[in-house]
Structure 1
Amino acid sequence: MTPITTLHGIGTRIAEQLAKLDIHTVEDMLFHLPLRYEDHTQVKSIADLKVGDNTLIEGTIQAAEVKMGKRRSFLCTFSDGTGTVMLRFFHFYPAQRQQLKQGTRLRCFGKVSQGYQCLELVHPQYECTNDINSATLLEEHLTPIYPSSSQLNQSIFHSIIDQIFEKQEIVEYIPASIRDKFNLLPLLDALNILHRPQPNLSLKILREGKHPAQRRLAFEELLAHHLSLYALKIRSRTRNAPSLDNAGQLIQTLLAQLPFKLTNAQQQVYTEIATDLRSTHPMQRLLQGDVGSGKTVVAALSALQAIESGYQVAVMTPTELLSEQHKRTFTQWLEPLEIKLTWITGSLTKKKREQTLEKITSGEAALIIGTHALFQKDVEFAKLGLVIVDEQHRFGVHQRLALRNKGSQEGSYPHQLIMTATPIPRTLAMTAYADLETSVIDELPPGRTPVSTAIIPNTRRDEVIARIQHVCQNEGRQAYWVCTLIEESETLQFQAASDTTEQLKKALPHLNIGLIHGRIKSKEKEEVMEQFKAKELHLLVATTVIEVGVDVPNASLMIIENPERLGLAQLHQLRGRVGRGALQSYCVLLYQPPLSEIAKSRLTTIRENDDGFVIAQRDLDIRGPGEVLGTRQKGTLNLRVADLQRDKALLTDIVEAGKLLFKDYPEQCQSLIQRWVKEGLHYGEV
């Protein structure tokens, strides 16, 4: 790759500024596409101007003066013989006043707005044309405006692009046969169109990202990401892993003890996992299942398969609350089988931590549950055979990679089961998780009653509180009240959990009310949860820490305050804390009016749907893939040109093109990956 500094006029200072925009090479600049375009190819008559036009005009200054008012401004009356506009400058300097005097001939470009007396151009670009044949100044193509910084002007980008097209060879990595099959422009043609578009090109189509030139680059970028993951999938098949093959006695014992039968979906998914675990190559499987579908018991069966083969299992969760929930559940299921488990989080005392580390290192603990504390340096596993990552989208990529590497011994890697209750729409799964096999639990256990959801303004708060009184006292049920902040914030008008608890205690003096949030100590948190599970508390006020891993079948009412602040997936997860049995359960979305159109759309989606996959797709439509995947972390899908929503129609073709390219042109695959994915290649291995 040719460094950008090989181009004329790019010294150290400019190179440093370009590096801040992630432009290091000539190729980086080629794929640094314009934000928008300006039309400097034709001069428009002032008489034809309309408010909102971005346009080029030519004429003469009739008068110039500094006008005092709320804001001092320099005004130039400007005419071309067909009409008059005002050029207005709020920021100006003496030399500019000297330059822009009566009789000066200018060519100006700017946005037309309605002024006090006539049309205006505020701070237009301008060029004096007194001594120049103005016909030679017209551009031949639309002028691209690039994403930049305050230290770089547009002329630098224009100079770089001109040099690249004049001197540099632009390498095409997609063979003509594949381009023809999928109706793709050659790369050079696509780049030429986007960096030097002809005047007759539709700016509307370019703005919408629907031009064939944009389609070509989006296709190549998505193809590169797909190939990088596909390559990892192939590579993982060459790696070694322990074959976890045994008689399955522990599994049979657990199944016999469970007070419920597995659903058909759970049985199918476990069969897929069990087959993978018996392989001598590392399992890389994503397990998707809606809230309450029973992923945890599938994880337990997978863990038992590894433990019976003499290996340890690590279960990693994003929060202490979820790790505590898993600890309780796994203890209940595995202690009767005489399997020792331990729990490690950041809140353990020094002595307790040392004891826990000893159990892990010696192999005494067969199952280890914990938060990100699992992959800290002093945690050493005796014989790690399986890693289970719950709520995977909450973890940074480096964290998952660190845990996998901890388990590698003598060229052998542990199997990985990655679980999520946030269903991933097919469009995302095809790109962001192409290296993983996918299993879906697509049915809920029998006896579950759908949760009835209501959207109610905060002005009816008293009615909601009365409803809690009735549910808890008359029906013997329990309720949640979820707040979005821990303590009052001056800038956000949302009730804080601590204040809400005090208010509810006054309004409901006969009810026992508990409070839980992320900042209270682990022991205290566990005590409050145990009281709620034991029905000693009627109402639990909580922040969104209860989003995952809390299971209290007697709770049948949930109030979510300020739901307009949360994403659809998070609202669906929270609502999933009720309706965990045969009881009719209710969720009240208590919003602060007025609602924006997006918030209305989001809350209506939750009220009308209880299918996690439908909700996930709608969440993707509203928020985009970055939010849904948690991709603001380094090493996940980081797209420069493509847009997963806009370009999702390309994905089926990309999978097919990837197979053809991988089979017939392997050297081109590597070049494409390096062009678009760069250092991110190894991240997919997690």
Structure 2
Amino acid sequence: MKEIHKIPISFLKKVDRKKEKYFKKIGIYTIQDLLFYFPIFYKKRGKLISIKEVQKNIEVILYGKILDNNIISGKRKIMVVQIGDSSGTINIKFFNFSDFTKKKLSVGKHILVCGKAIKERENYTIIHPRYRIREKKKKYLLNRHIPVYQRINGISQIYLRKIILQALKLLDNYDLREVIPKTIQKYKITLKESIKIVHSPNIKYSIRLLNKFSHPAQKRLIFEELLTYQLFIRVSKDNIKKLLSPKLKLKYELKNQVLSSLPYNLTKSQEKAIKEVEFDLTRKYPMMRLIQGDVGSGKTIVALFSAIQVISNKKQVAFMAPTEILAKQHFDNFRKWLNPFSITIGWIHGKQRESIKKIQIKNILSGKTLVVVGTHAIFQKKIKFRSLGLIIIDEQHRFGVFQRLMLLEKGKRKKLFPNQLIMTATPIPRTLAMTIYANLDISTLVEKPLGRIPVKTIVLPETKRKKLVLRIGEILQKSNKQAYWICNIINISKQINIKSITSTKKSLLMMLPKIKIGIIHGKMNFEDKRKIMENFRRKEIQLLISTTTIELGIDIPNANFIIIENSERFGLTQLHQLRGRIGRGNKGSFCIFLYKKPLSYKGKLKLEILKKWNNGFLISNKDLEIRGYGKIFGTQQTGKKLFKIADLYRDKHIMYNIKNVLETTQKCCQKRAHLLFKRWINEGHKFILV
């Protein structure tokens, strides 16, 4: 029997080259990949009834024969289609229609209609219903809940459901192996049965249970995915220990010089993390360590002293940041800290002039440049390192796994692999972190540098916006202070009634004519963004209007205020990250969350949490409770989810049970583990080292 993971998605009917391209963009290459693209929630299907049972504003499904089709002319053409069954007739109306639609809805055909009815005079009418031309009632479909999938560009929900049903019909004729033994897998349901139920659940199953991902079929799939994930991490960690890294000896001369040049003392957490890194660097195999800490906890200083040990051994360091603005900030800081000791710092970004880039590339290859800071531009093939000893990745969840793998491969020399230090300002509870980052050793920064004053958080309805604007203007005019003003979108939108950068700039310029105002957003080119940030840093701009482009790591100690428009539309963790842009000096700072009424329950809860707490670990934990793991830690840069059906927070009880059977699974599934990796890990069989 042919294995389903070897059948390309193009084998299915109506999957042309264009559609195949859309699927491949999100990692769906085979029928197996498609079947493992699971629904994110379910909708209850309306009940199939006779026409005489129709009631106002209740969604129904009707099956009947098209009796008439008329076009009513006027200011707008309206197509009125009359359908009937043994109990009566009803009209369906279309205001936007094509000749093709008119032809499709011709008299004599049978039709399945879904929609809500309104009353027009004495008769019921359904406006723009969903419909299908059907010769027979398909009870199979009517007895099923409607699965809803994460959106794929270029692919509609209806089309996706159709081809998944087509793939389900093929499932019985192809091999989809049960890899995990029944002694370990406690759910009494097969893999094939689980897949069929999850994609096409019968209406006899509770929709509430399905939407809580608590149906046995869902739990069986979640169990296998989480077990595979843990197995993958264990194999990955074992493989890393088989690799060799450059031999490094601990040297303290440069470390002590830099330490004495700093205007502050390190926190105990920073000192502990640096010692842990130094221990890792002396081992035979590559370091794989995560530094996690709240915003402003001093992760970059840990990265600095990690780099110092590597460059003291005449090896190079690559420091990668997710945005050019943040990379430039890291470059400026490293240059400030290390230039006095004759350490050359390189800077690589996408918009660099070719002449400057050539010099940088030459210095990296010769080994003259010991620290290279940049964005994904560091991945360019023409950039080659003489002796790469350490890779530092800031905000690692913003990078794809393949980007990290490319950097590891780039540093490989004579079978020696560079060390990796990963930093994140999205702290999570330690027990959960040890599960998510199980292939990494973890250092946690629990304190903030001495002298920092906690940010005061204020929550205001947008009705008080005018008063707030005038008060902020008054403070900025009288003092040396600066402020950020955050908007959700760049331009005014007709679809959503929220503040944009353009509308906010216009209103603030009118209300605050004496204040120097600047704007920054992601669509601006790097040079313009760099100039704006430089002017803000030099206090030539007092008020900076921005999108969330300043969310990650931007450090302007003189910025004392941040005002966030439409705060109800941001995530809890994201709002805390934005708040972390201030409070970096030794003066009091204020974060003001403006919100639009009415607030949803979740919106109110979110703002209450932020007002009450300033601790990133507590806030992240609450965000996990409210939104789940996927929305916070999903791989944003690719659009792919880390998990296909599991959620680490929701399914933590299943994860804890898995730890008890992991050892046994590794022994009995060793030879067939690649089938699990192919099935569950996004192209995981290709990046077992990362």
Report TM bin, short chain: 0.7 to 0.9
- Could you tell me whether the CA contact under 8 Å between 2:51 and 2:85 is conserved in 1? no
How does 1:463-474 map onto structure 2 within 5 Å? 463-474=467-478
Partners in 1 of 2:628 and 2:284 — Cα distance?
A: 38
- Could you tell me whether the CA contact under 8 Å between 1:245 and 1:309 is conserved in 2? yes
Q: Deviation digits for residues 443-487 of structure 1, max 9, x if unmatched?
A: 22233222112223444344223333443354x341213243796
How does 1:4-19 map onto structure 2 within 5 Å? none
Q: 2:481 aligns with which of 478, 481, 494?
A: 478
Specify the SS of the correspondent of 2:251.
Answer: coil
How does 1:289-308 map onto structure 2 within 5 Å? 289-308=293-312
In the other structure, the counterpart of 2:405 is 401
Alignment of 1:171 onto 2:177: yes
Alignment of 1:384 onto 2:388: yes
Question: Residue 495 and residue 271 in structure 1: after superposition, are their counterparts in 2 closer, same or farther (change >3 A)?
Answer: same
In the other structure, the counterpart of 1:2 is 3
In the other structure, the counterpart of 1:361 is 365
Amino acid at match of 1:224: T
Partners in 1 of 2:526 and 2:104 — Cα distance?
A: 67
In the other structure, the counterpart of 2:552 is 548
- Could you tell me whether the CA contact under 8 Å between 2:35 and 2:167 is conserved in 1? no
In the other structure, the counterpart of 1:99 is 108
Q: 2:249 aligns with which of 245, 251, 257?
A: 245
Question: Residue 29 and residue 252 in structure 1: after superposition, are their counterparts in 2 closer, same or farther (change >3 A)?
Answer: closer
How does 1:192-203 map onto structure 2 within 5 Å? 193-194=197-198, 200-203=204-207
Alignment of 1:667 onto 2:686: no
Alignment of 1:230 onto 2:237: no
In the other structure, the counterpart of 2:152 is none
- Could you tell me whether the CA contact under 8 Å between 2:485 and 2:543 is conserved in 1? no
Partners in 1 of 2:389 and 2:459 — Cα distance?
A: 47
Alignment of 1:209 onto 2:213: yes
Return the offset for 1:262: 1.9
Specify the SS of the correspondent of 1:176.
Answer: coil
Specify the SS of the correspondent of 2:556.
Answer: coil
Q: 1:616 aligns with which of 612, 617, 620?
A: 620
How does 1:587-606 map onto structure 2 within 5 Å? 587-591=591-595, 599-606=603-610
Amino acid at match of 1:484: C
In the other structure, the counterpart of 1:677 is 681
Partners in 1 of 2:345 and 2:547 — Cα distance?
A: 29
Higher mean C-alpha deviation, range 62-71 or range 596-605: 62-71
- Could you tell me whether the CA contact under 8 Å between 1:67 and 1:75 is conserved in 2? no
- Alignment TM-score, normalising by the size of structure 1: 0.81
Amino acid at match of 1:349: R
In the other structure, the counterpart of 1:220 is 224
Amino acid at match of 1:449: I
Amino acid at match of 1:179: Q
Specify the SS of the correspondent of 2:290.
Answer: strand
Q: 1:288 aligns with which of 289, 292, 299?
A: 292
Return the offset for 1:162: 4.9
Question: Residue 226 and residue 114 in structure 1: after superposition, are their counterparts in 2 closer, same or farther (change >3 A)?
Answer: farther
- Could you tell me whether the CA contact under 8 Å between 2:236 and 2:688 is conserved in 1? yes
Q: Deviation digits for residues 322-371 of structure 1, max 9, x if unmatched?
A: 22322232223223333222222234333332332232222122222222
- Alignment TM-score, normalising by the size of structure 2: 0.81
Alignment of 1:456 onto 2:465: no
Q: Deviation digits for residues 219-253 of structure 1, max 9, x if unmatched?
A: 21232233223322221111111132223232233
How does 1:120-135 map onto structure 2 within 5 Å? none
Partners in 2 of 1:316 and 1:219 — Cα distance?
A: 35
Partners in 2 of 1:138 and 1:495 — Cα distance?
A: 48
Partners in 2 of 1:94 and 1:305 — Cα distance?
A: 75
Partners in 2 of 1:379 and 1:480 — Cα distance?
A: 39
Question: Residue 217 and residue 468 in structure 1: after superposition, are their counterparts in 2 closer, same or farther (change >3 A)?
Answer: same
Return the offset for 1:208: 3.8
Return the offset for 1:178: 0.6
- Could you tell me whether the CA contact under 8 Å between 2:379 and 2:407 is conserved in 1? yes
- Could you tell me whether the CA contact under 8 Å between 1:85 and 1:118 is conserved in 2? no
Question: Residue 224 and residue 113 in structure 1: after superposition, are their counterparts in 2 closer, same or farther (change >3 A)?
Answer: farther
Partners in 1 of 2:506 and 2:465 — Cα distance?
A: 15
Return the offset for 1:303: 0.5
Return the offset for 1:289: 1.0
Specify the SS of the correspondent of 2:618.
Answer: helix
Return the offset for 1:384: 0.9
Q: 2:313 aligns with which of 275, 288, 309?
A: 309
Question: Residue 198 and residue 145 in structure 1: after superposition, are their counterparts in 2 closer, same or farther (change >3 A)?
Answer: closer
Partners in 2 of 1:29 and 1:496 — Cα distance?
A: 38
Question: Residue 505 and residue 526 in structure 1: after superposition, are their counterparts in 2 closer, same or farther (change >3 A)?
Answer: same
Specify the SS of the correspondent of 1:185.
Answer: coil
- Could you tell me whether the CA contact under 8 Å between 1:486 and 1:517 is conserved in 2? no
Amino acid at match of 1:296: T
Alignment of 1:325 onto 2:329: yes
Partners in 2 of 1:647 and 1:86 — Cα distance?
A: 47
- Could you tell me whether the CA contact under 8 Å between 2:486 and 2:562 is conserved in 1? no
How does 1:332-351 map onto structure 2 within 5 Å? 332-351=336-355
Question: Residue 531 and residue 175 in structure 1: after superposition, are their counterparts in 2 closer, same or farther (change >3 A)?
Answer: same
Specify the SS of the correspondent of 1:548.
Answer: coil
Higher mean C-alpha deviation, range 521-530 or range 335-344: 521-530
Amino acid at match of 2:561: L
- Could you tell me whether the CA contact under 8 Å between 2:405 and 2:687 is conserved in 1? yes
Question: Residue 486 and residue 141 in structure 1: after superposition, are their counterparts in 2 closer, same or farther (change >3 A)?
Answer: closer
Higher mean C-alpha deviation, range 455-464 or range 299-308: 455-464
Partners in 2 of 1:153 and 1:240 — Cα distance?
A: 46
Question: Residue 385 and residue 99 in structure 1: after superposition, are their counterparts in 2 closer, same or farther (change >3 A)?
Answer: same
Return the offset for 1:258: 2.4
- Could you tell me whether the CA contact under 8 Å between 1:5 and 1:15 is conserved in 2? no
In the other structure, the counterpart of 2:85 is 78
- Could you tell me whether the CA contact under 8 Å between 1:236 and 1:282 is conserved in 2? yes
Count of residue correspondences: 665
Partners in 1 of 2:329 and 2:159 — Cα distance?
A: 53
Return the offset for 1:529: 4.6
How does 1:447-596 map onto structure 2 within 5 Å? 447-474=451-478, 476-484=479-487, 488-489=491-492, 491=494, 504=508, 507-508=511-512, 511=515, 513=517, 516=520, 529=533, 532-533=536-537, 535=539, 538-591=542-595
User: Is there any run of 5+ residues in structure 1 with no aligned partner, and where?
Assistant: 101-105
Specify the SS of the correspondent of 2:460.
Answer: strand
Specify the SS of the correspondent of 1:343.
Answer: strand
Specify the SS of the correspondent of 2:645.
Answer: coil
Higher mean C-alpha deviation, range 376-385 or range 622-631: 622-631
Specify the SS of the correspondent of 1:368.
Answer: strand
Partners in 2 of 1:157 and 1:378 — Cα distance?
A: 43
Question: Residue 498 and residue 4 in structure 1: after superposition, are their counterparts in 2 closer, same or farther (change >3 A)?
Answer: closer
Partners in 1 of 2:368 and 2:355 — Cα distance?
A: 17
Higher mean C-alpha deviation, range 150-159 or range 530-539: 150-159
Alignment of 1:657 onto 2:666: no
Higher mean C-alpha deviation, range 587-596 or range 109-118: 109-118
Partners in 2 of 1:48 and 1:488 — Cα distance?
A: 48
Higher mean C-alpha deviation, range 493-502 or range 463-472: 493-502
Amino acid at match of 2:662: G
Specify the SS of the correspondent of 1:75.
Answer: strand
In the other structure, the counterpart of 1:103 is none
Return the offset for 1:268: 1.9
Higher mean C-alpha deviation, range 26-35 or range 605-614: 26-35
Partners in 1 of 2:423 and 2:399 — Cα distance?
A: 12
Partners in 2 of 1:633 and 1:347 — Cα distance?
A: 20
Question: Residue 87 and residue 124 in structure 1: after superposition, are their counterparts in 2 closer, same or farther (change >3 A)?
Answer: farther
Return the offset for 1:602: 4.0
Return the offset for 1:534: 5.0
